A and B are shown apart, each in its own frame.
Chain A
Amino acid sequence: MEPGSQVDEIDGQDGFERRLATLMHGTLEPTPFEPRHRERLRAGVRTRRRVRAVYRAAGSAAVMAGLGLGLFLWPHGPTENPPGAPLPRPATSPAPGPSVSRTPSPATPPPNPPGTSPGPTPTDRPSSTPTTSYPPGGPATSVAPPPTTTMSAHR
């Protein structure tokens, strides 16, 4: 490239910039491409090739390790397939069992928890007597009981 060959084509250059461009081109000193440069380049290429090969091998090993770990931890693998919960039944079962019946028959009352008497529940008798006691925070059910005299007396 001739020194300053395109300098005049670039707009907006003053004298200093043109002189600077000329100076940069004019200080070029011929440097021969020596055998030591060639050898150094070849050595650099060999080194970089080795590094790339190592990176490729490491990358492949990492991918294989990741795949193996993924397969090992896969929850539906062939080695670990425990019998889980029974499949959900269809909504309209042809043979409904007693466990899915929502209408208890009068002959078979629902069992009570051990240690509790089959007394009346708040829903059965809304007009409960003042002797009916609730926990201090109120009953856990969504049905709000009528205020009792004992609770209002404490306030």
Chain B
Amino acid sequence: MEQARAGEYDAFVAARWSVLCHLARLLTGGDRHRAEDLLQEALVKLWFAWPRVADEAPEAYVRTVLARAAARSARRRWWGERPVEELPEVAAAGDLSATVAERSRLEAALARLTPRQRAAVVLRYYQDLPDRQVAQTLGCPVGTARSHAARGVARLRQLLSDVIEPVG
């Protein structure tokens, strides 16, 4: 029983790892380490909820845990960071392809939003969720979710105006 559960769980995590990593990274505004911590926390919770959600929507469960944790992250003062002797790896100069540069600009712009605005925008435009599901995922009224998304997009419109040209 436990073996079968572990096998199904591992298969799901391995199959959706890239997408979930990307979602976590967008939700944290490009902070890779925070994204890994968030995803780890969400997947550990998924393990204990697996008997309930395995047959329904495990990815929706992880998405909800991730989005809510990211949206309330600003209220947490400590992220479990510890000082280290050596700096973690930094991006090497010269390997900035167009995609990487685009992603960096997007993540930097997302990082300028409030956590709830960022979560609403990511759920709306990356997960392609309608307002009702965005609100359900964030655990807030539909109007509040719509307002967060609209304000976040308005801010991104200013920040990314030179990256995203207006399309006629």
Interface positions of A (Cβ within 8 A of B): 1, 4-7, 10, 15-21, 23-33, 37-38, 40-41, 44-45, 48, 52
Contact = CB atoms under 8 A, between A and B. Distances in A.
Nearest to B16: A33
Most buried by A among B43, B102, B125, B166: B125
Given A15-B168, A45-B47, A21 B125 contact: yes
Interface of B: 10, 13-14, 17-19, 21-22, 26, 40-41, 43-44, 47-48, 99, 102-103, 106, 121-122, 125-126, 128, 130, 153, 156-157, 160, 163-168
A31 B165 CA distance: 29
Given A15-B167, A20-B125, A38 B47 contact: no
**Majority-rule SS of A interface residues:** helix
A28 B164 contact: no
Contact of B48 (A17, A23, A30, A48): A48
The 6 closest A-B pairs by CB, nearest first: A15-B167, A27-B103, A33-B17, A24-B126, A6-B128, A44-B44
A30 B153 contact: no
Contact of B17 (A18, A19, A25, A37): A37
